Amino acid sequence: MPELPEVHNFKHYFDAAAIGQRIAAMTVHDDKIIRNMNGPTFADALTGRTITGSIRRGKYLFAQLDNDHDVLLHFGMNGDLNLYQEPEERGRFERFAFHFSDGNTLGFDDSRKFARILYLEDREAYIREVGLGPDALDLEEDYFLNALAGRKTTLKGILLNQKIVAGLGNLYVDDLCYRLRLHPATRVNHLDQEQLQAVYRKIIEMMTYATENAPYYRDYPEEWFWHTWRKEGGVDPETGGEVKVIKVAGRTTYFVEGRQRMGE
């Protein structure tokens, strides 16, 4: 699933393809992923508009329009963008497409239909409505420590909570816990101040590196974070411990037995 760094990469792609472009027409093949209006209404609202910019917050990408409205692109499990000119280059699972006045088409592909697309008249009101927390790259240490103080939930659960930190997902949180040698099911209130500060620093370090290296989520480098260890029944290359799989916060979770210990 695309997480903050992957959506950061989508933003670069979207900006290069779409900013400054007038939408000459829209095609909606399947409006299931358009969550707050039907396909014809969505197409009508966008046709003739110009895309002026984009804003990413966590896993959310907001395409800004010249009428001060936005289109929210949330990529779900496997959403993708595809810029093309010839009809035969259209993605097999394209759900809708922007046809720009310069002749290019930007398609939104989604084979599993878990993406969330919304037309928003007030972006900030929507962010308040869903309670979206600060972007993981913009975290301030005091905020983070205060937000976690005294929490009895699991470390993994709190880091996946988009109302606390926007942008972290299953893969990066597993890897963060692995690198800090913390069990993902450790209760936050069992971590001391030094450990919480280490979690904060690791979030910033990982997200900075990942966004600067702009991964495409279907083609990670072999040495990309979790690729070096996150295999069920595998062996941790550093400690020789076995990689186990459990459920934490309702999510499939990988950890290395012996390496990652519960906070006391």
* Sole residue written with tokens 């690729």: 227
State the pLDDT at residue 209: 95
187 flagged as catalytic: no
SS3 of residue 50 by DSSP: strand
List 3, 57, 94, 230, catalytic entry: 3
State the pLDDT at residue 218: 77
State the pLDDT at residue 12: 95
18-55 burial, b at 16+ Cβ within 10 Å, e below that, comes to beebebeebebeebebbeeeebeebbebbeebbbeebe
Residue ranges per domain, the chain? 4-130, 136-256
CB distance 118 to 36 below 8 Å: yes
State the pLDDT at residue 155: 98
- In angstroms and rounded to an integer, the radius of gyration of the C-alpha atoms of the chain is 20
How is domain 4-130 classified at the CATH fold level?
N-terminal domain of MutM-like DNA repair proteins (3.20.190)
State the pLDDT at residue 221: 84
Instruction: Supply 250's token pair.
Output: 């309702």
CA 29 to centroid of chain Cα atoms: 25
State the pLDDT at residue 4: 95
Alpha carbons 61 and 14: distance in angstroms, whole number: 9
State the pLDDT at residue 263: 64
State the pLDDT at residue 115: 97
CA 7 to centroid of chain Cα atoms: 5
Half-sphere exposure of 96 (CA within 13 A, CB side): 26
251 flagged as catalytic: yes
3 flagged as catalytic: yes
Alpha carbons 182 and 238: distance in angstroms, whole number: 15
List 11, 49, 56, 59, catalytic entry: 59
pLDDT (tens, 9 = 90+) of the chain, 264 residues, equals 789 999 999 999 999 999 999 999 999 999 999 999 999 999 999 999 999 999 999 999 999 999 999 999 999 999 999 999 999 999 999 999 999 999 999 999 999 999 999 999 999 999 999 999 999 999 999 999 999 999 999 999 999 999 999 999 999 999 999 999 999 999 999 999 999 999 999 999 999 999 999 777 778 888 899 999 999 999 999 999 999 999 999 999 999 999 998 865
SS3 of residue 88 by DSSP: helix
**CATH code for the part of the protein at 136-256:** 1.10.8.50
For residue 78, report the phi and psi dihedrals to the nearest 5 degrees. -150, 40
CB distance 258 to 181 below 8 Å: no
- DSSP symbol at 153: S
State the pLDDT at residue 2: 87
